[in-house]
Copies of this chain bind each other. A is one copy, B any other.
Amino acid sequence: MAKQTPAKQSYVPTLLDLFRQYGYDGVSLSKISEATGLGKASLYHHFPGGKDDMVETVLVALEQFLEKTIQEGLAGEGDALTRLTRMSDRIRDGYDHGKKPCILAALALGSAKETFQPQVKQLLGHWIDAIATVLIESGMEQDVAQRRGEEAMIAIQGSLIVSRVLDDPSIFERTMAHLPEQLCR
């Protein structure tokens, strides 16, 4: 695991956008150079481990973002429905209301899968667990709650893909709007 620096972190938004849209194999160093405004040498200066180093930096940032989302959203005040609605709103923002794909799905494809599967799996699993925890605290059985967490992830990932393929972000928005009640049923 490469060392994280403030400079690296400052490139996360740009890198995230590239990897989520083009996937690992579709993002070349030239594309990154263009998007960040840095030459290749500078990119290697900041990310000595190259492309993999960049993806890891993005994943570390995502882990932090997820933690923050859990603390401020899911683990905050209110009943389950309120909390899940707060999460739903954050998700809408994070995916630009259905217009941006999920990097976790993108990294499950191609050569990225072999390299990053453990981290991606851990992130997604963590997200599911957090949703399940909210439902458990509201009185739901653990088994059922875990299933619901998975359902939530299926809805999120599935609606992002369908919205993207059909070029219709309202599908994602509609799905997110219904998700909280569905999980609490």
Contacts and interface: CB of A to CB of B under 8 A. Distances in A.
A49 B110 CA distance: 23
Given A154-B159, A159-B158, A175-B154, A26 B110 contact: yes
What is the count of identical protomers in the complex? Answer: 2
Interface string A17-53: 0000111111000000000000000000000000000
A171 B120 CA distance: 17
Interface in A100-127: 101, 104-106, 108-111, 113, 117, 120-121, 124-125
Given A105-B105, A150-B171, A154-B175, A124 B26 contact: no
A72 to B, nearest CB: 24
A85 B110 CA distance: 31
Interface of A: 21-26, 101, 104-106, 108-111, 113, 117, 120-121, 124-125, 150, 153-159, 161-162, 164-167, 171, 175
A119 to B, nearest CB: 10
A111 B104 CA distance: 18
A50 B26 CA distance: 18
Nearest to A105: B161
Contact of A105 (B24, B26, B117, B165): B165
A25 B21 CA distance: 12
Contacts of A101: 108-109
Contacts of A162: 124, 150, 153-154, 157
Contact of A125 (B156, B157, B166): B166
A113 B105 CA distance: 15
B154 A120 contact: no
